[in-house]
Structure 1
Amino acid sequence: MIEVQCQCHGRLNELLPPSRRHRPFTHRLKQVMSLQQLLIPLRVPHPEVDLALINGDSVPLSRNIRNGDRIHLYPDTGDLDDPSLVLLRARPLQRPRFILDVHLGRLARRLRLLGLDTWYRNHMDDRPIIRLARLQGRTILTRDRGLLQQPEVTHGYYMRATSPDRQLHEFLARFEPWPWLNPFSRCSRCNGLIERLPESEVRRRVPPRLYLEFRDFFRCSCCDQIYWQGSHYERLRRYIDRLGV
């Protein structure tokens, strides 16, 4: 039996049961395993850990756990500028792009509303999500810790909140995507870019009552959904204003 002492820091405590938060706790292993393997029973996804200290030394995820090890896990390195530190999280992606699992459809629509490149399908299994995330350079957002604990996952985040509005506030606080926000630039249905509907197509595609009431019409460049700035747009605009965007 291998016995180690662990402590999580910062927002990693949100992933632990209350009895293990903000304090050292003992964890027992039946066999030798790597630090990355240890994170699975701790229920801490490795993409959320940026620094691990074992007995005071910065170590990689591949480091094997030994009896008596004292393990500290950190979500961020903060302002530390030490070349000897082994940073565990993959380098940040150049542009924030996301892929959401089947549990986060309502959050996906909100992110698209803000203009963020957000891939979502309500029938995708874990393996296709992981492949697409790696192929297109997307961060996985999920309510499934098991998905993030797959070894191929490099960028991911476990959403703590359960309601869509709380999830959106959590997302904005965690990722701070302010320079990339462009409300109403993406289709909430399919993630395609919104473009102005050419005047030559307006009369043919827009019902007469709408044509008489509104001047500007738009369409999705992918699914061809038509949009206009009616009462629904005004409600969404007020919602975005409340977010401070």
Structure 2
Amino acid sequence: MSPEDAPRFAADAMLGRLARWLRALGFDTAYDIAIADPVLVELANAEGRILLTRDRHLLRDLRPQRAVEVRVDDPLQQLRDVAQELALTGPVAMFSRCLLCNALLVPLSAREQELLLAGMEHAPSGPVLHCPICRKLYWDGSHARRMRRALEQVLPGWGAT
């Protein structure tokens, strides 16, 4: 699935962990715990996003144009259910978005990586990406491997990409 063809999401305040999983898979997922439900629905409608919510009242009263009601508590089961309901075929681009703010990640240059990681005891050996908005660093370390294994449990084949 190409990024241009991939669905875009807006997650309500109760779905922060699901939003992080969707971002890890490369899906553009708006999430802000402080946003009011009417504003969230307006954002989703205006930007053509699929609203993900656990709030039946939001669905009934505010009637978003496109929405999926999330019914389970476990974030990985939520992800599996959303993927099945929307017939998602796999990740867009694993670990291409910031898990915190949703921005697209940018590779550090070799020189930037050398300067930044010089003093680290266990510096990553592969490429390092950074978020241009919140400045968080990402690399393919043990956390990414654990996430891939967890994905394989609920969505076989998705953690390998």
Q: What do residues 140-159 of structure 1 show as CA deviations (whole Å, max 9, x unaligned)? A: 11011111123552111111
Q: What do residues 152-178 of structure 1 show as CA deviations (whole Å, max 9, x unaligned)? A: 521111111122121111111101222
**1:195 corresponding residue in structure 2:** 106
Paired residues of 1:193 and 1:222 also in contact (CA < 8 A)? no
CA change 1:168–1:179 in 2 (3 A) is: closer
Paired residues of 1:187 and 1:220 also in contact (CA < 8 A)? yes
Gaps of 5+ in 1: 1-93
TM-score relative to the length of structure 1: 0.57
**1:107 corresponding residue in structure 2:** 18
Please report how far the alpha carbon of residue 238 of structure 1 lies from its aligned counterpart in structure 2 after TM superposition: 1.8
5 Å matches for 1:1-245?
95-151=6-62, 153-178=64-89, 181-209=92-120, 212-242=123-153, 243-244=155-156, 245=158
Query: How many aligned residue pairs are there?
Result: 152
Q: Output the amino acid matched with 1:171.
A: V
Distance in 1 separating the partners of 2:124 and 2:86: 39
Paired residues of 1:142 and 1:159 also in contact (CA < 8 A)? yes
Paired residues of 1:99 and 1:140 also in contact (CA < 8 A)? yes
Q: What do residues 5-39 of structure 1 show as CA deviations (whole Å, max 9, x unaligned)? A: xxxxxxxxxxxxxxxxxxxxxxxxxxxxxxxxxxx
Distance in 1 separating the partners of 2:24 and 2:58: 25
RMSD between superposed Cα atoms in Å: 2.0
Structure 1 residue ranges, 4+ long, deviating more than 6 angstroms after superposition: none
Please report how far the alpha carbon of residue 185 of structure 1 lies from its aligned counterpart in structure 2 after TM superposition: 1.3
Q: Output the amino acid matched with 1:209.
A: M
**Higher alpha-carbon deviation: 125-134 or 216-225:** 216-225
Q: Output the amino acid matched with 1:97.
A: R
Please report how far the alpha carbon of residue 220 of structure 1 lies from its aligned counterpart in structure 2 after TM superposition: 1.7
Please report how far the alpha carbon of residue 127 of structure 1 lies from its aligned counterpart in structure 2 after TM superposition: 1.4
Gaps of 5+ in 2: none
Distance in 1 separating the partners of 2:50 and 2:124: 41
Paired residues of 1:99 and 1:139 also in contact (CA < 8 A)? yes
Which has the higher Rg, Structure 1 or Structure 2? 1
**Identity level (%):** 35
Distance in 2 separating the partners of 1:213 and 1:107: 27
Which structure has greater strand proportion?
1
Q: Output the amino acid matched with 1:197.
A: L
Q: Classify the secondary structure of the residue corresponding to 2:61.
A: coil
TM-score relative to the length of structure 2: 0.84
Please report how far the alpha carbon of residue 230 of structure 1 lies from its aligned counterpart in structure 2 after TM superposition: 1.7
Paired residues of 2:103 and 2:132 also in contact (CA < 8 A)? yes
